[in-house]
Structure 1
């Protein structure tokens, strides 16, 4: 216990005087079915978030707030400075029990690697003067965590900016464009080839006719 207490006093401790750092436990991929990898019943322990991609993260830490403590959650600089937008941090009401869920969106140009144990949020606590009259537990029915994750999975898009579909659409347009250009070029080459052949044939015929007339003249006046 003494060793643990010493570690809590260091700069790297997840427990600070008025806040705690929370870490990644489970990673879920929007759009995945319940029992597939990344679904609500088969979470990942690591993932690489592509540009425009989204994931849902569940924390290792579980809160059990009394009726006189509230909290605010925000992403740490180590996450936000990498272009990662945490879309649903906010306040936590007194009386809340359970872990925290975040939705992460990668807005950077590079993929973002995420794994179990990474710090994903900081919770800042506030002590109220007295207990609230009606806390979270008395207002909100506690729901199954997996059901909440599955609801998010079905609501969110894995590709937030639809970048993959946009790339496919762009490629299809470009391929169609180049296909039309190629068809036109081949057609023009065919026309040019036919014209050139006709010209050459006509030119050869004209020369042959000229030689024939010359021969006839020579025969007549010879």
Structure 2
């Protein structure tokens, strides 16, 4: 496992991150905040798609929050852009802070050597409550592993969430909560109409007895 701070810095596209940070900060400050000695916390990027919404959403400093409801699938992209070398791969995950709320990573768990680009996470809220995320907050984690040999196959990376990914998960998802609501409505209807039916039957029996 790679733990050297300078080595890990080299796996990020520093110029890209500097351009995004602008004058407010620098890559060094951003890196030091998220560096965890053996791992690095990746921040939430500006683009997100949630299945319960019609269109992708763009987060910003003035509109930084997004809510993933129970049962929703979402596509999230990292703020950082990677530039891995031929002999280094990486493992990725959602941070425990969000895992314990029910946010599950259902996409891949590793990044191939030579990958250049931002990372897209496909996630699912399996918890009972809404999960609130904020732009640029550390939501994911990554750690790097050095290989014994080199891998020469180039890996296409992402700078945004492609439309085909959105099309693959677009549409409402069926959740346990939604099914529970449907069952409750069905039970209520059965009780209501069942009670009416019993009352009608009792009235008919009463009429028949009187006429007899």
2:200 partner SS: helix
Alignment: residue pair count = 180
Equivalent residue runs for 1:210-221 within 5 Å: none
Q: Tell me the distance in 2 between the aligned counterparts of 1:85 and 1:174.
A: 32
Q: What residue number does 1:99 align with?
A: 118
The 10-residue stretch of structure 1 (19-28 or 47-56) with the greater mean CA deviation from structure 2: 47-56
2:114 partner SS: coil
Question: Under a length normalisation based on structure 2, what TM-score does the superposition of the two structures give?
Answer: 0.69
Q: Tell me the distance in 2 between the aligned counterparts of 1:63 and 1:183.
A: 66
User: Structure 2: which 5+ residue stretches go unaligned?
Assistant: 1-24
Question: Under a length normalisation based on structure 1, what TM-score does the superposition of the two structures give?
Answer: 0.66
Of the three residues 164, 175, 180, the one matched with 2:193 is: 180
Per the alignment, do residues 106 and 158 of structure 1 end up closer, same or farther by CA in structure 2, a change over 3 Å counting?
farther
Of the three residues 51, 60, 82, the one matched with 1:30 is: 51
Q: What residue number does 1:212 align with?
A: none
Shift of 1:24: 0.9
Shift of 1:80: 1.5
Structure 1 residue ranges, 4+ long, deviating more than 4 angstroms after superposition: 157-161
Does 1:166 pair with 2:187? no
Larger proportion of helix: 1
CA RMSD for the aligned pairs? 3.2
Q: What residue number does 1:154 align with?
A: 167
Q: Tell me the distance in 2 between the aligned counterparts of 1:16 and 1:168.
A: 43
Deviations 1:116-155 (A, max 9, x none): 12222111012334532x2333xx4x567342xx223222
Higher CA-based Rg: 1
Q: Tell me the distance in 1 between the aligned counterparts of 2:52 and 2:86.
A: 36
Equivalent residue runs for 1:113-128 within 5 Å: 113-128=132-147
User: Structure 1: which 5+ residue stretches go unaligned?
Assistant: 203-222
